[in-house]
Amino acid sequence: MAGVPSPALATLSHERSWREGWIYERKLDGQRVLAVRDGSGARLYSRSGRDVTAAFPEVAEALAAQEAPEFVVDGEVVAFEGSRTSFARLQPRIHLSDPERARRTGVAVWFYVFDVLEIGERDLRGEPLLERKRALRGLLTWRRPLRSTPHRVRGGEDWFAEVCRRGWEGLIAKRADAAYPSGRTDAWLKFKCEAGQELVVVGWSEPTGSRVALGALLLGYHDGDDLVYAGKVGTGFSERVLRDLHERLTDLEVPTSPCTRGALPGSGRRRGGVHWARPVLVAEVAFTEWTSAGQLRHPRFLGLRHDKPAGDVVREAR
């Protein structure tokens, strides 16, 4: 068998479509893993090519015990919080290099397999996705911690709303006739479940690289008498919006942070490329969830709100 292939990477899409000829899988919140089984056993690799076998020894053992002597499969190692996959729950295991320490964490893991790249001397990467899935079904014995990843051939907004209510991360849409790509591809699309939240703009960061006007908006919300820092948002802007926001915020600049709680990115007027602003602007932001540190995960700027006073902005329950 050849070396470790480069995994296919889905492209994030904020425009969902439910077309014929596509399939839809649950988006899992875990560690992407390519698993290689050969005559020496099974090894697990992250999407960057790092060997993570020691972090998930029970997965490697289950793959090494399979009847097929050689194969390469693609999937996601996950841990659960209730019915939801949780990257935070998986964290204690991800960087461990001692299999026994990994087991002693007490964090149970599962390997959801969704694709097969090679079986023995047969390279399946040029075959259509549905053909690869048929080959995968008969390849492995599906016992703990191995699980097959189910898919649907039809999607829809009602179903998407339902899976988001269940606490799923979202869906992965894949073109059914596509070969297995290497790297980022528009034949695999990510549809993320997002929450909406109004937040107060408390400052901004300076741009880097080719970015114009500002890098990100710094955000907060009111909790009683406190203004709590909630993180930053750096996506969702057009160049025109960036310039407009910078012009507005420059007129509102203040020398110190208006926040009274939260882990701030810096203090003072310009420390670390951070500027603070009088908290009067309200931004509408989409995001996937609140982190355990009380900040936004995967935020995306939607626009400014002009119909709500900044003083009324609080953290909303989801």
How confident is the model at residue 139, as a pLDDT?
A: 96
Q: Is the peptide bond before 299 cis (omega within 30 degrees of 0)?
A: no
Give the CA angle between residues 293, 299, 300 to the nearest 5°. Answer: 165
**Range name among 50-59, 136-145, 164-173 with the lowest pLDDT average:** 164-173
- The residues that are catalytic are 27
The pLDDT tens digits of the residues spanning 294-304 come to: 899 889 898 88
Token pair of 174 as six digits: 């894949």
- Structural domains for the chain: 8-192 (3.30.470.30), 195-312 (2.40.50.140)
Tokens 């050849």 belong to 2
For residue 268, pLDDT over 70 is answered with no
Least Cα distance to 112 among 207, 17, 35 occurs for 35
Q: How many CB atoms lie within 10 A of CB 211?
A: 15
How far, in Å, CA of 76 to CA of 96, rounded? 17
**Range name among 129-133, 136-140, 283-287 with the lowest pLDDT average:** 283-287
